[in-house]
């Protein structure tokens, strides 16, 4: 307990030397660090991070027991003696696990939009968010804080192309987004899948990635070799009725490879499904068994 008190005094001494001059056009004012009871702090309902690794929180709690909290939490004044957490959610949760009764805090004054912007940017830059959480945070900054892509890129010190790559992930089907959140597939897999315009084929490629345990490079090769994602000379369809052309396209989407339908005037014909190797053949056979 003595170590924690000494650490808190050290933090106050350190922060007392910070230049507190107010900058022109500054959107939020910051007070010197104070010790505050955890019971006075309410979590921020707009916290962009929705999942926290329990083992990681336990490790942080152990560190806090030994070293205390080096980086104060940031809160804003609410009604009565209550304060709302702006940033430092992991530290807040770990402090509870560690059994702390009070924590060092900065007290800021900010309106709701400024609160949201500060919380989102702080988490994007400092927390180990998964790719979907980062994409959601970027999207909220654009939609709710009226930031354009260029301004957002500057605020978070990223290239505009990086922002765009993350935002494209939000257009993926929910099952693929969930796989990113659960770390079943990587950001690299998700980026490759996001480059597919056909949702049906996105799901086919996703399913193949999971079942065949494709690396990002394997997935990219599969996509580059697939007729669904590269331009090829279109087969002659003049002799096929519209309904058979549609069926052929649906089969291409199911199997992720080239499919051809031949039919003569009497209605007799055949369906050919192309494959390049045993892996593609096995995938086709799996789809036939499932269907």
Q: The tokens of 45 are what?
A: 């309902």
For residue 175, indicate whether it is catalytic.
no
Q: What is the DSSP letter of 186?
A: -
Q: What is the rounded CA–CA span in Å between residue 126 and residue 245?
A: 52
Q: The tokens of 238 are what?
A: 């003049």
* First-residue to last-residue Cα distance in the chain: 65
Q: Which of 286, 233, 289, 222 is nearest to 257 (CA)?
A: 222
Residue-wise DSSP of 129-183 = --HHHHHHHHHHHHHHS---HHHHHHHTT--HHHHHHHHHHTTS-HHHHHHHHTT
254 by DSSP, 3-state: which?
helix
Give percent helix, percent strand, percent coil of the chain, each to the nearest 5: 55, 10, 35
Q: Which residues of 72-110 are buried (b: 16+ CB within 10 A; e: fewer)?
A: bbbbbeeeeeebbbbbbbbbbbbbeebebebbbbbbbeb
Among residues 30, 59, 89, 290, which one is catalytic?
89
Q: What is the rounded CA–CA span in Å between residue 101 and residue 116?
A: 26
Q: What is the DSSP letter of 270?
A: E
| Residues with catalytic function | 89
């Amino acid at each position: 307990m003595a170590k924690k008190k000494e650490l808190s005094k050290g933090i106050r001494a350190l922060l007392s030397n910070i230049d507190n001059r107010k900058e022109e056009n500054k959107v939020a004012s910051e007070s010197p660090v104070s010790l505050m009871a955890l019971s006075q702090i309410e979590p921020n309902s707009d916290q962009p991070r929705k999942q926290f690794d329990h083992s990681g929180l336990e490790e942080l709690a152990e560190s806090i027991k030994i070293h205390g909290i080096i980086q104060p939490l940031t809160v804003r004044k609410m009604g009565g003696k209550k304060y709302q957490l702006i940033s430092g959610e992991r530290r807040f949760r770990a402090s509870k696990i560690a059994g702390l009764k009070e924590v060092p805090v900065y007290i800021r004054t900010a309106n709701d939009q400024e609160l949201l912007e500060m919380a989102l940017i702080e988490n994007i830059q400092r927390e180990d968010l998964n790719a979907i959480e980062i994409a959601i945070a970027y999207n909220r900054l654009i939609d709710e804080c009226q930031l354009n892509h260029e301004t957002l890129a500057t605020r978070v010190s990223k290239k505009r192309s990086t922002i765009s790559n993350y935002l494209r992930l939000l257009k993926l089907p929910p099952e693929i987004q969930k796989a990113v959140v659960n770390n079943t597939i990587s950001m690299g897999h998700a980026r490759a899948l996001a480059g597919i315009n056909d949702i049906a084929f996105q799901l086919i490629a996703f399913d193949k990635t999971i079942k065949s345990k494709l690396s990002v490079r394997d997935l990219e090769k599969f996509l580059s070799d697939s007729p669904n994602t590269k331009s090829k000379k279109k087969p002659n369809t003049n002799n096929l009725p519209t309904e058979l052309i549609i069926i052929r396209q649906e089969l291409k989407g199911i199997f992720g490879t080239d499919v051809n339908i031949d039919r003569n005037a009497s209605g007799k014909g055949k369906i050919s499904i192309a494959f390049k190797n045993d892996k593609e053949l096995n995938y086709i056979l799996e789809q036939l068994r499932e269907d």
